[in-house]
Amino acid sequence: MSKRYIYRLVAFLLLLTGAGNAVYAQQAVTIKGRVVDAASKEGIPGVTIIDIKNKKGLGVTDPTGRFTITVEPEKMIQFRYIGYRLETVKAVAGAAMNIGLVPENKALKETVIIGYQKRTKETASGSAAVIDGKALQDVPVSNIQELLQGKVAGLNIQNNSGAPGFRGTMSVRGVSQLDVSGSGDNAYLTSNNPLLVIDNVPVDFDGGISQSMLQPGAATGPLALIPPEDVESIVVMKDAQATALYGSRGANGVIVITTKRGNSPTPIIDITSSVFVNLPPSLRPTIGGNAERRYRISSILANSLDDREARMKLSDPNSQFLTDSLNPFYNNSTDWQGLFYQTTLNSNNNIQVSGGSQKMNYKANFAYQKNQGVLKNTGFNKYSLNMQLNMQPSKKLRIGAQLFSALGQKQRGNGGGLTNNGAGNSFTSSLMPGPSTFVGNPQLSGYENNIDDNNTLNIRGFVDVDYEIINGLRINSTTSYDYYTDTRDRFNQSFSNNNVTGLYGFVGRHDELNTRNGVNYSYSSRPTDIEKSHNIYASVFSEINIKSDDQHVRDVRNGPNDYYWGPRGYSPRFYPGNPWNNKDEVNVNGTPVSYAYHAASWAGFFSYNYRTKYVLDLSYRLDGNSSAGINNPYTKNPSIGLRWNFNKENLMRRLDWLDYGSVRVTYGINSRPTSTILNSLGAYNTVKSYNNGISINPNFSVLANPNMEPEKSSQFNFGVDLGLFRGRLEVIYDTYYKNNYNLVRDIKLPNATGYDKMQVNGGAIVNYGHELSLTVRPVVNKNPKGFQWTFSVNGAYNQGVLTELPGGSQLFINVDENTWQSTALKVGRNPQSNYMYETVGIYQSNDQVPVDPIRGVRYKAFKGPGNQYFQAGDPIWKDLNGDYALDNADYVIMGNPEPLVTGGLNNTVSYQNFSLNINCTYLAKRSILNNAIAARIYRLQFPERLSLDGGTAQGPINLYDINQINYWKQAGINATHPAIVGSFQHDAAVAPNRLDQSLYQEDGSYFKINQITLAYQFRDFDFMKRLKLRVLRAYVTAYNVGIFSKYTGPNPETVTSLGRDDINGYPNASSFTFGIGAQF
Amino acid sequence: MKRQVYTFFIAGALAVTATSCYKELLPKEKEHFSNNVNFDGDTYTANFGRTNVFYGKFNADNSTQPLTFQLLNIHRPDSQPAPELLTQVDTWQWKAYYSGTEKTIAEIDAKRFQVKRPVLDMRENSGDLVFWATDTSKIKPGVYTFDILVKNNGGQKLFQKQKLQLRLPRPYEPYDYDDITGLHKKDDKNNLIYNHPTLEGVQDMQNNTINADQVNVYFHKTGTGKNSVTFKVYDKDSVLIPMSKFNVTQWDSLKYVSNTIGQNVFFGFNRKFATDSSTVTWDITNPYPVLADVGINESARVTFTYERVSYGQRRRAYMGYGFSILEPGSWEIIFKFRVNPKFIND
């Protein structure tokens, strides 16, 4: 839309220059003609023809590029079409007009919105990558974020949950946070979310979601609600100059989404409709039925210390499912995995009506998607309506308004959390009977019968007014309001909820008011030709942001029966903190989140360029917010950028192989408010009965830090853009050095202070790296119907280094008391590393185990008393301190859960009416902890049980097909894994298959085929004319086609941001789509 | 025009150099040395005549391994330097692990080898302290002091004035003499303390249960030739009770639990009865049990069992004793009943 702004300016200027011509009122004549591509001579459909004097649309070309208009002769008429230079000609009566439109050099003339300012890419010094909305069309995904994967170098997206309506992780140029929430397989890094700006309105990335793993609400964010069909473009801003004007929230990068606008004098109706099938992933091989029983019983007999222990295990009432094999109840071979998964048929529909002229244009987009997940009772339905109206009553005044409303309805089965995990751990022994009327599996029954309605209602409106006071000086004002209601109503039948019914209600409201008022001024010393003049653009604006969020939960259990949803209300039995009913702290009644946040900012921007050749950008933004420490309320975000378009130098102009070339250098500082008001100001509680009265005391859990500052990042960026060989090769290279500092960390306080901890600014992470995007057009055919081939590849190398911890500390260990897979934060290394034992092999015999020469015993697995000696079949763990005992001192800092290289490939081939698009993503060098396998092997120590409750790796014991693992069976065989069970006693003491060892740390590199789309464009068919169809297109898409990896777990992508593969993860489904797009 | 070419190349070259310097801007990974490294206690109590191992007392608090440990400033009780604690002595160390299934003493000895080590020895990387077996002829008992320097490339810490309390040898356990004064231990009523066996079902002639404190155990070293242990049982009148009275003792499968290796181990080697079966003798290793001084609560246990019929009821009774012998030589372990036990049927 910014392009139109320039067109408008140009048109306006042309109008001014031609204003002196005498115009005679003449009789209107009918003119026929054809608009073609100047290069290919192919007709261009949909070209808008405008009477530039009257600013009136005259018509559009038909699918073959022909037009018929009625106009007064000698009028100046203009032909405009996106991607082509404007062509203005004088209307001549009689002769047929043949107009050739010259394609524009897109890469440079593209406009991007940087810091709320429209800029042509040519004069922007920041690093910003543009994704055309067309690249996001052919897959009906539930969250548009999935489609951005692999499209921009340096934007790392991992779709680690396939649950419809949820989203994966996203980070721009590496991680910038150190905090970890959750534990075990659910340990996640706190979010590195960029700032999201939709149609110039900054919105919260996660909408009404607060960053908590135990997600109480519906967990549907704005990216899940925007229909991809409505997206005109997405700009990803990576460096400090591009993000500087977004101030306090731009430190993680900025993603700007622009939705489509009306741009046609005649109304256009676009209809996109598709049906798609979601297919469950291939299931894991398991041992079932008699094979399972035999394995379990033989394991008990072989691994018990003596017959007595074996008899004890077999005669336990809980192992009846093993021993009572003649009982039909236990004589099954149930395919539990198969019962949880399903294939679903879904549809996606979108209607867009748009049209209008310069003076007034409109757009309405209605979208509906039904997306049922591959796990039973999960899915996401969304409805959205986006309406936009732009008016220009006079040349000086522009008004735009938009109203976006969406409803997301989510079913979550029995899952929870931010990624809807839950099913993977639900597969119990195959010996148990499958579901029927009388018996069932609590987990499955949860997926089948639980009611879990999650509704997210989002309404976002904005009004944008822009007025030109004097020539070049405009004032503008934008006000937006974004409102979310998140509700969750869940009813668990008692069978699936520990024999008590569960009634859970959640209401969350999140609203955000944002208003921005500013003045901007543009000046050009030669307005007719900016390529020969001094050009200045300056603007000043202020921004106010007010946010509030309230969430309420009521959780009532133990209702009268499975069919009565009540009584609703506050449950006195299950209030948090009740020592009788909240021993595991599962009671969540109350108000988990309630806050109001105010921020005020002032920003100035100055851009100067000489002949669009030398560009200087300066910006400065001052941010204050209510959660900063009172001694440091404002943060300053300055930035500077330089750009040199060296192809405009005389020397370079002569190089005909150089289309364009430029060098960009930027530096700037951004910030991110992380502190909360509780940590910067402290909290106070009312205390009963102090000195016989009620008093107000400090809350001793956190000591206020009034000097708290927002987290900051400073970033240096150097970039080169090159266009070579007449569009055959485009190169964008960026290198950056980004220092995230002032990271907020907890420091524990000595108990003499009376307080537990304080939050301080102390951590720092540096990310540096290189990004390269190449677009190659090996075959460019003059004839658009001929064979065309475009190939683009992008890659980003990012290295993160932890450079500081508070108090000058070198090391911080984040102990995980569930899996013992702790993380280490060590200065000088990658920000997060695993802290585990290093497995270097398997002992082939007892004699291989090192012997303590002083004590005459073998190396053992425990430092204290006892005889946990290693034996043949155990893993060889390095004894670093040489004390012949495995303990904390033998933990090794290893691995890096952050990928070193990420990127994507895109390949488009077209011939005649067919086009084929293949989209791939790759990732290299990332450590994944294969807990999916490790936990299952670990649990095989307990073959007599149905599930392991409590402790490490708890969950049902089902039999992974262990023959697929090369485990140690006897001496002399080269095995990669330790003996599955040495003996029960030995395993309990030594835990050879413990999770905290490097054996399960694998390389998570992968290559993924995201999407293959084959499309057919209907052209020049008679029926299209009869039906007044302007465009008709049919396509078939396969999505999530395949993933290639050496990783032995289920999927290297569906792992947490810390690289833990959770067996409970929601798998990424493949889908096949057939769709039709039509334009009337 | 040429200048522009140069400018272009210079700009390019500068950019390349700038980007290759990223790593130079970053802190290098250093070895971590925690401020909280510490030892569990600062006093080491050791006895002459045996290997003393102080094991697992150091907490590295996640400091980067390997750490190195050094003994410094070793002083005698009178604060004079004590070079004698660094003299090299012959020590027995293990090259293969003790399995408890060895059939002969030679087989066990073959797993050991002799090396010279300083008397006060510290494991280089783990901080485990060893005071090797030596005698009081070279080193006097008393409280010695020393410093331990712990370091890696990230830092160091000096633990000063650690105390090494050297005590008299304890030739056997349980030792009924005080290892500081050398006097027989006394209780608070000034009565001598004796060792007692474990009794179960042992009755006197009146069929009253004999309590453990009615039987004393004495250790008596009879020679220095061969390492052996002989058991003698005396009644109240100091008449030998023949071993044949313990009629259901399974002499061929007498086993004790080795706490350290977690296994049942055959008691002794080459069992010999006196011709009148008044005593029983086993060859033993030194120390005995094998890991007596380096193991965890390691003691050998012997159990003598007998059976008699008491008013038509079969009664099984036993006398057991757990001990270890650290001083080489031939030892007698004497059980002295102060009340005569009853072996005959009623």
Least confident interval from A79-93, A848-862, A944-958, B123-137: A79-93
In angstroms, the Cα distances linking A1008 to A918, A924, A975 are: 11, 12, 30
Helix (H, G, I), strand (E, B) or coil at A680: helix
Tokens of B296: 């965890």
Closest to A767 (Cα-Cα) out of B310, B22, B234: B22
The whole-number pLDDT of residue A578 equals 60
User: Residues, chain A, total?
Assistant: 1080
Looking at per-residue pLDDT, the higher value among A54 and A686 belongs to A686
- Judged by average pLDDT, the poorest of A109-118, A507-516, A671-680, B112-121 is A109-118
Beta strands, E only, A322-450:
344-356, 360-372, 378-391, 397-412
Q: How high is the pLDDT of residue A52?
A: 72
- Average pLDDT (A521-549) is 86
Question: B66 and A882: CB-CB below 8 Å?
Answer: yes
A207/A195 Cα distance (integer angstroms): 11
Q: What is the pLDDT of residues A684-734, one digit of tens each?
A: 878 777 777 888 888 888 888 888 888 888 999 999 988 888 888 889 999
The SS3 of residue A956 is strand
Contact B294 A888 (CB under 8 A): no
Per-residue pLDDT tens for A477-488? 999 999 988 888
| Average pLDDT for B255-283 | 91
pLDDT score for A442: 61
- In this complex, which of A651, A863, A869 lies closest to B5 when CB atoms are compared? A651
Pairing, β B215-223 against β B228-234: unpaired
- B29·A826 Cβ contact <8 A: yes
Residues of chain B found within 8 Å of residue A888, distances taken between Cβ atoms? 60, 62
Is A845 an interface residue toward B (CB < 8 Å)?
Answer: no
> Phi then psi for A639, rounded to 5 degrees?
-155, 155
**pLDDT of the residue at A110:** 64
**For testing contact with chain B, the best of A830, A854, A887, A890 (most B CBs within 10 A):** A854
Residue among A859, A848, A866 nearest A883 (CA): A859
ipTM of the complex: 0.89
- Residue B240 backbone dihedrals phi, psi, to 5 degrees: -65, 130
Query: In angstroms, rounded to a whole number, what is the distance separating the alpha carbons of residues B63 and B156?
Result: 11
Residues of A within 8 A of B261 (CB-CB) are 857, 867, 869
pLDDT at B4 over 90: no
Distance from C-alpha of A359 to C-alpha of A619, rounded to nearest angstrom? 33
pLDDT of A2 over the 60 cut: no
Q: Which residue of B55, B57, B99, B291 to mutate against A (max A Cβ within 10 Å)?
A: B55
State which residue of chain A sits closest to B154, comparing Cα positions: A810
**Position with higher pLDDT, A285 vs B321:** B321
**Under an 8 A CB cutoff, do B126 and A650 touch?**
no
Q: Which of A644, A650, A718 sits opposite B18 (nearest CB)?
A: A718
Highest mean pLDDT among A113-117, A435-439, A612-616, A771-775: A771-775
Please, are residues B240 and B232 in contact by the beta-carbon 8 Å criterion?
yes
pLDDT of A277: 93
Q: Are A119 and A619 in contact (CB under 8 A)?
A: no
- For residue A1032, pLDDT beyond 50: yes
Q: What percent of chain A has pLDDT over 70?
A: 88
pLDDT level of residue A378 (50, 70, 90 thresholds): confident
Give contacts of A 998-1017 with B, CB under 8 A: none
Cis before B174? omega within 30: yes
Q: What is the mean pLDDT of chain A?
A: 82
In CATH terms, A2-104 corresponds, of 3.40.50.1860, 2.60.40.1120, 3.40.50.300, 3.40.50.720, to: 2.60.40.1120
The reply to whether residue A881 touches residue B25, judged by beta carbons under 8 angstroms, is no
Greatest alpha-carbon span in chain A = 114
| Residue numbers in A near B5 (CB within 8 A) | 651
Do A212 and A501 touch, CB atoms closer than 8 A?
Answer: no
pLDDT at A22: 39
Residue of A nearest to B37 (CA): A889
Residue A17 has pLDDT above 80, yes or no: no
Task: Give pLDDT, residue A64.
Answer: 72
The residue whose two tokens read 């000609």 is: A89
Give me the pLDDT at residue A519, please: 93
**B97 and A663: CB-CB below 8 Å?**
no
Q: What is the pLDDT of residues B304-320, one digit of tens each?
A: 999 999 888 999 999 99
Q: Which residue has the tokens 């991007």?
A: A112
Whether chain B has a CB inside 8 Å of the CB on A829: the answer is: yes
Cα A707–A702–B37 angle (5° rounding)? 95
Q: Are the C-beta atoms of residues A870 and A859 closer than 8 Å to each other?
A: yes
Interchain pair A718, B154: CB under 8 A: no
Least confident of A243-247, A422-426, A519-523, A804-808: A422-426
Q: What is the mean pLDDT of residues A332-350?
A: 87
Bridge-based pairing state of the strands B43-47 and B155-167: parallel
Two tokens, residue A120: 């042509």
CA-nearest residue to B61 within chain A is: A889
Q: Tens digit of pLDDT for each residue in B141-199? A: 999 999 999 999 989 999 999 999 999 999 998 999 998 998 999 999 999 999 999 99
At A445, the pLDDT band (50, 70, 90 cuts) reads low
Task: Return the DSSP state at A885.
Answer: B
Q: Which of A490-499, A749-758, A1040-1049 has the lowest mean pLDDT?
A: A490-499
> What pLDDT shows up at residue A9?
47
What is the pLDDT at residue A105?
56
Which of A663, A829, A857 is nearest residue B98 as measured by Cβ atoms? Answer: A857
Torsion of CA B71, B77, B83, B87, to 10 degrees: -80
Residue bearing the bigger pLDDT, A20 or A1003 = A1003
Spatial distance between the Cα atoms of A114 and A112, rounded to a whole number of angstroms: 6
pLDDT band of A1017, cuts 50, 70, 90:
confident
CB under 8 Å to A180, separation ≥6 — which residues?
A187, A188, A189, A190, A814, A823, A832, A1058
Hey, are the CB atoms on A852 and B94 less than 8 Å from each other? yes
Give yes or no for A863 touching B (CB within 8 A). yes
**Touching check for A401 and chain B: CB below 8 Å?**
no
Whether A880 sits inside 8 A of B65 (CB atoms) is yes
The larger pLDDT score, comparing residue A41 to residue A1057, is at A1057
> Is residue A521 scored above 60 in pLDDT?
yes
Q: Is the Cβ–Cβ distance between A456 and A478 less than 8 Å?
A: no
| A507-519: average pLDDT | 90
What's the average model confidence in pLDDT over A958-980? 85
Looking at per-residue pLDDT, the higher value among A972 and A397 belongs to: A397
φ/ψ of B267, rounded to 5, equals -80, 125
What is the least distance, in Å, from the CA of A709 to any CA of chain B? 23
Burial A327-365, CB ≥16 within 10 A → b, else e: eeebebebebbebbbbebebebbbebbbbbbbeebbbbb
* Cβ contacts of B185 within 8 Å, gap of 6 or more: B176, B177, B178, B192, B193
- A491, containing H or E segment: strand A473-492
Q: Please say whether the beta carbons of A1035 and A1016 come within 8 A.
A: yes
Q: What confidence category does residue A348 fall into, taking pLDDT thresholds of 50, 70 and 90?
A: very high
- Is A1072 part of the contact surface with chain B (CB cutoff 8 Å)? no
Angle at A534 between CA A533 and CA A539, to 5 degrees: 135
Q: CA A343 → CA A140, A278, A375, B77, distances in Å? A: 16, 6, 9, 83
3-class state of residue A722 by DSSP: strand
Amino acid at A957: I
Name, of A192-206, A489-503, A673-687, A1027-1041, the range with top average pLDDT. A1027-1041
Question: What is the per-residue pLDDT for A438?
Answer: 59
With contact defined as beta carbons under 8 Å apart, do A1058 and A832 qualify? yes
Share of chain B above pLDDT 70, in %: 95
- The answer to whether the CB atoms of A881 and B66 lie below 8 A apart is yes
Q: By the CB < 8 Å criterion, does A870 face chain B?
A: no
Contact B111 A718 (CB under 8 A): no
Which of A341-355, A557-571, A831-845, A976-990 bottoms out in mean pLDDT, i.e. has the lowest? A557-571
pLDDT of A144 strictly over 80: yes
Q: Which residues contact A175 (CB under 8 A, 6 or more apart)?
A: A189, A192, A765, A767, A800, A831, A832, A898, A1057
Per-domain boundaries in chain A: 2-104
Helix (H) or strand (E) holding A235: strand A231-237
What per-residue confidence (pLDDT) applies to B339?
Answer: 92
**Is it the case that residue B117 has pLDDT exceeding 70?**
yes
Q: Which DSSP letter does residue B211 get?
A: P
Q: What is the pLDDT of residue A337?
A: 80
Q: How many CB atoms lie within 10 A of CB A1069?
A: 23
Chain A segment 871-890 residues within 8 A of B by beta carbon are 880-883, 885, 887-890
pLDDT in tens, A68-121: 887 777 777 888 776 676 777 777 766 677 777 766 555 556 666 776 777 777
- The Cα A122–Cα B276 span in angstroms is 113
Helix axes A307-315, A289-303, angle to 10 degrees: 140
Report the top-level CATH class of B38-84+119-167. mainly beta
Test A768 with B22 for CB contact under 8 angstroms. Answer: yes
The residue ranking higher by pLDDT, A604 or A531, is: A604
Judging contacts by C-beta atoms under 8 Å, the chain A residues touching residue B154 are: 810
A867 touches chain B (CB under 8 A): yes
Angstrom CA distances, A19 to A12, A14, A54, A71, A897, stand at: 10, 8, 12, 19, 65
Range with lowest mean pLDDT among A1049-1063, B80-94, B106-120: A1049-1063
Ramachandran angles phi, psi of A768, nearest 5°: -130, 155
Residues of chain B with CATH 2.60.40.10: 38-84+119-167
* Contact yes or no for A555/A581 (Cβ under 8 A): no
Cα separation, A431 vs A117, whole angstroms: 65
- The answer to whether residue A652 scores a pLDDT higher than 90 is no
CA dist A564 and A560 (Å) reads 7
Distance, in Å, from the CA atom of A596 to the CA atom of A594, rounded to the nearest integer, reads 7
Interface A-B: count of C-beta contacts within 8 A: 131
> C-alpha A913: how far from its chain's center?
34
* Confidence bin at A582 (pLDDT 50/70/90): low
